[in-house]
Amino acid sequence: MNPLLSRKEETRRRIVDTAARLFLEKGVDRVGVDEIMRECGLTHGGFYGYFPSKEVLISEACIAALDEAAHQWEDLARALADDRLWMTFMETYLAGDLVSANNPACPAAILGADVARRQDTLQTTYIARLKGMIDMLTVESGGSRSHAILSFAALVGATSLAAQVGQDKDLAAEILNATRDELLKCRPIAAKTAG
């Protein structure tokens, strides 16, 4: 293995991960290449040795963030039959700390509007990931596709709304808590009795 190549790939991965984190914290349009590179301990001039443009980085970072979230959704789907695991997931996902580095919100909720304004390639990939997550939730939950979409939309929508009213912590918490409480009441019967 070429050690220079692996170091370059490692640095490239660090830039993508840092960009994903910053995009989730601040939004895509509020983060510049300078900030991303500075967070990585690199200079702005070095950016183009890794990416041809910021748009390419945005695409890769958004997809990386969504892929990471897909693992959380897989955990959710597996937890549907276990009340304790389901509650833990709901409390984690709907924690109320929507944009901090310690618990960034789901990229589907935070980056969705940014993705909608981006190039077709990113949108196509993003849509494919979301469809895959809905399909996986449908299969794992034992419920209907409609219920999987409802659950997914409620979680993502609540997170998005809470982020939008983030200055009003009480309202944000109320939105998240109400969504969690109502979703706990309407899990698919098949998932609740599986075992």
CATH number at residue 37: 1.10.357.10
Mean pLDDT per segment of 10 residues, for the chain of length 195 residues?
Answer: 75 94 86 95 92 91 84 70 71 62 63 76 83 84 84 86 85 90 73 46
Report CA 27 to chain centroid distance, whole Å: 12
% helix / strand / coil in the chain, to the nearest 5?
75, 0, 25
- Amino acid sitting at position 126: Y
User: What's residue 52's pLDDT?
Assistant: 94
Instruction: Tell me which residue of 195, 57, 65 sits closest to 133, measured CA to CA.
Output: 65
**What contacts 166, CB < 8 A, 6 or more positions away?**
98, 99, 172
pLDDT value of residue 192: 46
CB 107 within 8 A of CB 66: yes
Q: Is the pTM of this model over 0.85?
A: no
Angle, in degrees to the nearest 10, between helices 83-93 and 54-79: 150
Cα dihedral 169, 170, 171, 177, rounded to 10, equals 110
Q: Tell me what pLDDT residue 19 has.
A: 95
pLDDT for 195 equals 46
Range of the domain at 67: 3-193
Query: How many domains does the chain divide into?
Result: 1
Residue 46 tokens read as: 């070095």
